[in-house]
Amino acid sequence: MMRCDEQSTGIEVRGVRKEFSVDGRLVVALDGLDLAVRPNEFTVVVGPSGCGKTTLLYLVAGFDSPTSGRVLAYSSDVTGPGRDRGVVFQDLALFPWRTVLGNIAFGLEMQGLARERAREAARQYVDLVGLQGFENAYPNTLSGGMKQRVALARTLACEPDVLLMDEPFGALDVQTRHLMQEELVHIWEAKRKTVIFVTHSVSEAVYLGDTVYVLTARPGRVKGIVDVNLPRPRDARDDRVLDKRGEVMALLESEVRKTFAFGDVERDSQDS
Amino acid sequence: MRTSSQPFTRTLRFLYPLVVVVALWQLVVSLGVVDSSVMPAPAQIAARTAALLYVQPVLLLYLGVSLYRVAAGFALGSVVGVALGVLMGAGTTPRAALKPVLDFLIAVPTICWVPLLLVTIGMGDATIIIAVFLGCVFPVAYTSMNGVRSVPGDVVLAARAMGAGRAAILRYVLVPGALPSIITGLRLAVGYSWRALVGAEMLAAAASGIGYMIYAARAFYDVNAMFVGLAVISIAGLTMDYVVLGAAERRTVQRWGMVSGT
């Protein structure tokens, strides 16, 4: 896909509605959702449980199509998955039957590279995420943070323009999570990708994002946009960071309450 | 970490209860608690085994014939079963079309097919091999289908996002993802194969095979030979399961952490 100039949009979601049929009942996951991400911008999407964050990500990934509205990637309609858009999944979705190197080389093999050449090319991504020495390990022998690195490297190896990340650090302990956030920022600064990062955590959102979209409770639409616009690396104790967190929290709070009233419990809202 | 002594310890732990049972068995028969013409002692069975190996040397021949039949039927059943199962697991249309047929056929005891095969094909290897095939193809198809369906949706989506097409997803994601279930199915099928083999050999073998040997022994009240046949089948089945498929399982899905070790 062609890179356009900085003025144009990277990802654009226009008036998207998405319905599902669950046990014959109509569920509206997203309704009238608009989102615009500039090329190389780091956008974070937060919202209460079940607000359709993952649905939104899957629409951009092209796994599913909207009931109405449009999803565009670099000014072309998204009609299916494409190598221009890489996905990091919530539960990582690694291939347990492939080694670290085999996992990372998968996308390159799918591009038609011979197995050995793909593995050779995958080595630089092993280095990028600091997994040297673990090339031949199987994922089940790795810690959570290392599995996370494999998932990230596997996606980056396809050299996508856009990185779609679905709560990738949700299962990590606090320290590992913070390390991964730092590393992600480094990699993003080095590789300049357009990122949409979905999370529950307000602190994570403000630490990572240029822009934070807050979604409403289901059906999800945009409740508000917080322009973080602070220099990196960001310090959690910085007043400006705390202010931005407050802004996001204020937008989120009433929505979380709505969800809570329906019986859904926020998984890691205490982490915000 | 696994140490080199572990397989040895494991074998010992496996054999130990068997040795105890055999010793007790010998004791009970030697003391005259049980009539040795109905329940021969291990020593008698061992003597009969030796006779069948050296005096009228048919045991190895029969074992060879039976192994050929069971291997042919099992191989055929496994290949067709895995192919059918993967197809049914991956495609909604094949599943909708074949699942009811499979549900129906899986309920039919394999031995029921043998009279039909005798009428259409007649006595001999073909009938026995087809019986073995029928004994394993359905359970293998069933477990393979469930295996493919158990592959997490996200893993398939991840492959799609990285540019994998339908054929690549089948080959690189669904089949390896289904491997724990496929291997379980094959291990079950080893047992089913031997059951089908022995039943079919009793009805359809002209003059060879372990099943034939057991069945023919009734004419001579040769209970010892029946027990020899029983022991041979058990050991052959166990070897096929543990040595071949067990090793395959340990080298693949257990190593990948997809199933826990046994």
CATH numeric code, B73-234: 1.10.3720.10
| Number of CB atoms found within 10 A of residue B220's CB | 8
CA distance A245 to B171: 46
Best probe of the B interface among A83, A106, A158, A166, by most B CBs < 10 A, is A106
A139 touching chain B per CB within 8 A: yes
Contacts of B43 (CB under 8 A, 6+ apart): B26
Are B224 and B51 contacting, i.e. CB atoms less than 8 angstroms apart? no
The interface predicted TM-score of the complex, written ipTM, equals: 0.87
Read off the pLDDT band of B5 (50, 70, 90).
Answer: low
pLDDT > 70 in chain A, percent: 92
pLDDT at residue A109, rounded to an integer: 95
In the predicted structure, residue A270 carries a pLDDT above the cut 60:
no
Q: Could you tell me how far CA B100 lies from the centroid of its own chain?
A: 25
Contact assignment for A86 to B159 by CB distance below 8 Å: no
- The full length of chain A comes to 272
Q: Chain B partners of A90 at a C-beta cutoff of 8 Å?
A: 154
pLDDT at residue A260, rounded to an integer: 67
CA distance A103 to B156: 13
Mean pLDDT of B29-33: 89
pLDDT at residue A272, rounded to an integer: 37
CA distance B64 to B62: 5
Read off the pLDDT band of B12 (50, 70, 90).
Answer: confident
In the predicted structure, residue A87 carries a pLDDT above the cut 90:
yes
> Burial, A230: exposed, middle or buried (Cβ in 10 Å; 0-12, 13-18, 19+)?
middle
CA distance A146 to A123: 15
Q: Chain B partners of A93 at a C-beta cutoff of 8 Å?
A: 152, 154-155, 157-158
In this structure, of A153-167, A215-229, B134-148, the range with the lowest mean pLDDT score is A215-229
B104 touching chain A per CB within 8 A: no
Mean pLDDT of A235-240: 86
B255 touching chain A per CB within 8 A: yes
A69 touching chain B per CB within 8 A: no
DSSP 8-state assignment for residue B121: T
pLDDT in tens, A129-179: 999 999 999 999 999 899 999 999 999 999 999 999 999 998 889 888 999
Side chain identity, residue B169: I
Mean pLDDT of A102-125: 93
Q: Chain A partners of B164 at a C-beta cutoff of 8 Å?
A: 106, 110
Q: Chain B partners of A95 at a C-beta cutoff of 8 Å?
A: 155, 172-173, 176-177
Q: Where are the domains of chain B?
A: 73-234
Kindly state the helix (H) or strand (E) to which residue A34 belongs, with its residue range.
strand A25-37
pLDDT at residue A15, rounded to an integer: 93
Mean pLDDT of B48-74: 93
**Nearest beta carbon to residue B161 from set A86, A95, A96:** A86
Contact assignment for B258 to A96 by CB distance below 8 Å: yes
Read off the pLDDT band of A237 (50, 70, 90).
Answer: confident
State the alpha helices, DSSP H only, in chain A. 53-61, 100-110, 115-128, 144-156, 174-191, 202-208, 239-261
Mean pLDDT rounded to a whole number for chain A: 88
Contacts of B78 (CB under 8 A, 6+ apart): B136, B140, B186, B189
Q: Chain B partners of A96 at a C-beta cutoff of 8 Å?
A: 256-258
pLDDT at residue A233, rounded to an integer: 86
**Nearest beta carbon to residue B257 from set A86, A107, A140:** A140
Mean pLDDT of A22-36: 91
pLDDT at residue A3, rounded to an integer: 45
pLDDT in tens, B94-137: 999 999 999 999 999 999 999 999 999 999 899 999 999 999 99
Q: Which residue has the higher pLDDT, B56 or B67?
A: B67
Mean pLDDT rounded to a whole number for chain B: 91
DSSP 8-state assignment for residue A244: H
Greatest pairwise CA separation for chain B in angstroms:
74
- DSSP string of B90-123, one letter each residue: H-HHHHHHHHHHHHHHHTS-GGGHHHHHHHHT-S
pLDDT at residue A267, rounded to an integer: 43
DSSP 8-state assignment for residue A220: B
pLDDT at residue A50, rounded to an integer: 79
Q: Where are the domains of chain A?
A: 1-84+162-168+193-265
Are A93 and A103 contacting, i.e. CB atoms less than 8 angstroms apart? no
In the predicted structure, residue A271 carries a pLDDT above the cut 50:
no
Token pair, residue B185, equals 């199915």
Q: Which of residues 40-59 of A touch B (CB under 8 A)?
A: 58
Q: Chain A partners of B161 at a C-beta cutoff of 8 Å?
A: 61, 63, 81, 85-87, 155
Of B54, B46, B65, B55, the C-alpha closest to B224 is B46
Hey, what CATH class is A1-84+162-168+193-265 in?
Answer: alpha beta
Q: What is the CA radius of gyration of chain A?
A: 18
Of A125, A121, A137, A265, the C-alpha closest to A200 is A265
**B96–chain A nearest CA distance, Å:** 20
pLDDT at residue A7, rounded to an integer: 53
pLDDT at residue B261, rounded to an integer: 65
pLDDT at residue A268, rounded to an integer: 41
In the predicted structure, residue A252 carries a pLDDT above the cut 90:
no
In the predicted structure, residue B67 carries a pLDDT above the cut 90:
yes
pLDDT at residue A44, rounded to an integer: 96
